[in-house]
Structure 1
Amino acid sequence: MKPFRIAAIGIALAFASCVAGAQAFPTRPIKIVVPLAAGGTGDTLARTVGEAMARELGQPAVIENKPGAGALVGTELVAASPADGYTLLVVSPSHVINPALHANKKTYDPLKGFEPITVFANTHQVIVAHPSVPFNDLAGLIDYAKKNPGKLNYGSAGSGSATHLNMALFLSMAGIDIVHVPYKGSTQARQDVLSGQVQLAMDGLLPLQPLIKDKRLKPIALTSSKRAQSNPEIPVIGEVVKGYASDTWYGLLAPAGTPRDVIARLHAAAVKGLAEPAIRDRLGNLGAEPVGNSPEDFRRMLEREQALWTKVIKDSGAKAD
């Protein structure tokens, strides 16, 4: 019996060591890379949910903004990071858009290169205008643009970004010509539409809330398939341009190969944070609708999004500058 007891004790100790190892994660701060400019929707969501995750994980969540090349810079950085759960990536539809836009460039694989954790929230993109423009709604914008082709311009977060493609799809479906002014992130585009350097911008509803409330910008229409719970007064583009709909989401990924127990720990922390009433209220007031789905559901969604946007890019001929 003695050898059996020794073996049993060894197995128990090994099991306990594995459990302790899983429970030990994380033992140092976690870096959450936002491949977008500070102050935008992705940045705001990352900071809000990151704070809640840090409380649950017992370690700080450090937000690091790495904008550039339509989110390629930050995304490629995380793709090449160790698969240990300490470097994470905030993603939006641009995650599956970029590889299709850069088909001739060797870059990351949006599905094989990452492990899904969860979708933080569904948000909304909105066309906003400087108060000086001579129209107040989408029908007026379309009418003015048709009578004045090429005289309006709009800012986006950059060539090939979701804000660019959402606007390009609208212009194509509406049959109008508005000049694209790409920026290195939505924050710069927002600043220039506020100052009147550009007349229009496609941007996230979340960071625009105070500017809309103070009437410093005119909300024209949302890209989403339905009106926002936070702003039911703002119509969607599809109410005027039939068939148009483009929903916006933000989620969290880890590098491919990250251990399943680490993914589970990160997922649990994010979902618990998203369930906090204060977090839900905060996101809701900003125009974001919390999700917190499973890694498996997130992967299936990424597969659908990849197929959708690859087709849109191919059909439209869109290219990154």
Structure 2
Amino acid sequence: MRAKRNAGRTSMKLRTFAVAIAALVLAGGLAVTPAVADDAYPTRPVTVIVTFAAGGNADTLARIFAERMSQRLGQQFVIENRAGAGGTTGITAMTRAPADGYTVAVATASGYSYNAVIMKDKLPYTAEKDIAFLHLMATQPNLLVVHPSVPAKNLPEFIEWLKANPDQAYATSGIGSSQHLCGEMLVQRAGVKMAAVAYRASNQTMQDLVAGQIKIACDNFSTAWEQAKAGNVRAIAVTSPARYPVAPDVQTFAETLPGFEVQATFGWIAPAGVPKPILEKLIAALNAVGQEPEVRKRLEALSVQPSGLSGEAYAQQARDERLAITPVIEKAGIKAP
């Protein structure tokens, strides 16, 4: 009888020990699961929200990089265009997505720098708190182009024409876009009057400009220059601080209006809170893609300048842009609709 009681006690102790061991294993498994998941990332397709419509510069650059990211990381990086409000519609959607690395975005300074000044408290996110900056693919200046019916051949002549023909409409990609700010800077510096008209993407702007539906655009260089080379529009001036190597015969705004500079930026961002190992993997892969000779060749064909800034360096560049453009926005009185 005593032997049976001892056997029962031993069996109970063994069961208790087994439960304890199982609990420890389970706890240990839960503790390492995030690290294991981060290391395995990505295990499913990644959504890339492009904050402008298909066919524009942001979309084209996003697709070049997404294709190579898919090959490097073994999962599809799927483009989803979310255009509107100068890029803020797409960024808002990204910041509301889970911070797990499976939703990222390709955006421009209009969405993460300029509109922070324009919309202030109306903006549903802040760059400092809600965005993780991954990789700045490229920058490029804007090119002021006009319909051939505009008689001006250079910037001084264009300014004189505007003064004689005030309140001309000019195309933008939305409030706070580089196209919009280019126009507002010209209004302030030259003392002319123009009215901004928003389009969803640069290719749509060029279609209407060529057709004569609108006569003025200060659009991304790559889009506008193709139409200028084809003789469909006339190039007036470029917003880079020095003459752009692709078009050395086109004068800069700064030659007539010293200090005039606007640059479009195209970069990858993610929601704040994405685990550090995943951020590091994304940044490393994007940096590697940006260094690929074939990718750089394709960027050069688009007349953009590869950047390569990533992480904190990219975040600081965005802060600097915001500080530089704030006086222009405040003087113009640009406000959210």
**Would you call these one fold, judging by a TM-score over 0.5?**
yes
Matched residue type, 1:298: Y
Relative to 1, partners in 2 of residues 1:196 and 1:161: Cα closer, same or farther, differing over 3 Å? same
Please say if 1:40 is aligned against 2:56: yes
Which of 231, 235, 245 is matched with 1:229 structurally?
Answer: 245
Partner AA of 2:257 in structure 1: V
Q: How far is the alpha carbon of 1:14 from its aligned partner?
A: 9.7
Alignment of 1:123-272 (within 5 A): 123-150=140-167, 152-272=168-288
Name the counterpart of 1:85.
101
When the two structures are aligned, how many residues end up with a matched partner? 311
Distance 2:86 2:205 in 1: 14
Distance apart, 1:79 and its partner CA? 0.8
More helix by share: 2
Residue 293 of structure 1 pairs with residue 312 of structure 2: no
> Given that residues 230 and 285 in structure 1 are in contact (C-alpha distance below 8 angstroms), is that contact kept between their aligned partners in structure 2?
no
Matches within 5 A, 1:65-144: 65-94=81-110, 95-144=112-161
Match of 2:290 in 1: 274
* CA 1:19–1:102: 2 relative to 1, 3 Å: closer
1:59-103 superposed Cα distances (whole Å, 9 cap, x missing partner): 111111111122221111001011011111112121211122112
2:159 corresponds to which letter in structure 1? I
- State the AA in 1 paired with 2:166: P
Q: CA RMSD in A?
A: 2.3
Question: Is the 1:32–1:63 Cα contact (8 Å) retained in structure 2?
Answer: yes
Shift of 1:119: 0.6
Cα distance between partner residues in 1 of 2:244 and 2:99:
36
- Whole-Å Cα distance in 2 between the matches of residues 52 and 220 of structure 1? 36
Contact 1:32 1:64 in 2 (8 A): yes
Q: Which moved more, 1:111-120 or 1:243-252?
A: 243-252
How many Å separate the matches in 2 of 1:198 and 1:14? 60
The CA deviation at 1:308 is 2.3
The answer for unaligned runs of 5 or more in structure 1 is 1-9
User: 219-228 or 76-85, which moves further after superposition?
Assistant: 219-228
**In structure 1, the residue corresponding to 2:127 is in which secondary structure?**
coil
Tell me, in whole angstroms, the C-alpha distance in 2 between the residues paired with 1:185 and 1:279.
Answer: 23
Shift of 1:140: 1.6
Residues 16-44 of structure 1: CA deviation (Å, up to 9, x unaligned): 97765333111111111111122111111
Counterpart CA distance in 2 for 1:251 and 1:159 is 19
Give, in whole Å, the separation in 2 of the partners of 1:141 and 1:53.
44
CA-CA distance at 1:144 after TM superposition: 1.1
The 8 Å contact of residues 68 and 185 in structure 1, kept in 2 or not, is answered as no
The answer to which of 185-194 and 35-44 deviates more is 185-194
Residues of 1 paired with 2:127 and 2:326: CA distance? 12
Q: Which stretches in structure 2 are left out of the alignment for 5+ residues?
A: 1-24
- Please, which moves more after superposition, 14-23 or 189-198? 14-23
Whole-Å separation in 1 of the counterparts to 2:30 and 2:96: 31
Amino acid at match of 1:160: G
Post-superposition CA distance 1:255-313 (Å, at most 9, x none): 01001111111111111111111111111121111111230101111222222233332
Q: Secondary structure at the match of 2:66?
A: helix
Q: Which amino acid in 1 is paired with 2:150?
A: V
The alpha-carbon deviation at position 170 of structure 1 amounts to 1.3
Matched, 1:284 2:304: no
More deviation in 75-84 or 297-306? Answer: 297-306
| Aligned-residue identity in percent | 34
Pick closer, same or farther for the CA change 1:313–1:266 going to 2, 3 Å. same
**Which residue identity does 1:178 align to in structure 2?**
M
- Measured in 2, the distance between the counterparts of 1:92 and 1:101 equals 15
Separation of aligned partners in 2, 1:145 and 1:312 = 20
Offset of residue 49 of structure 1? 1.5
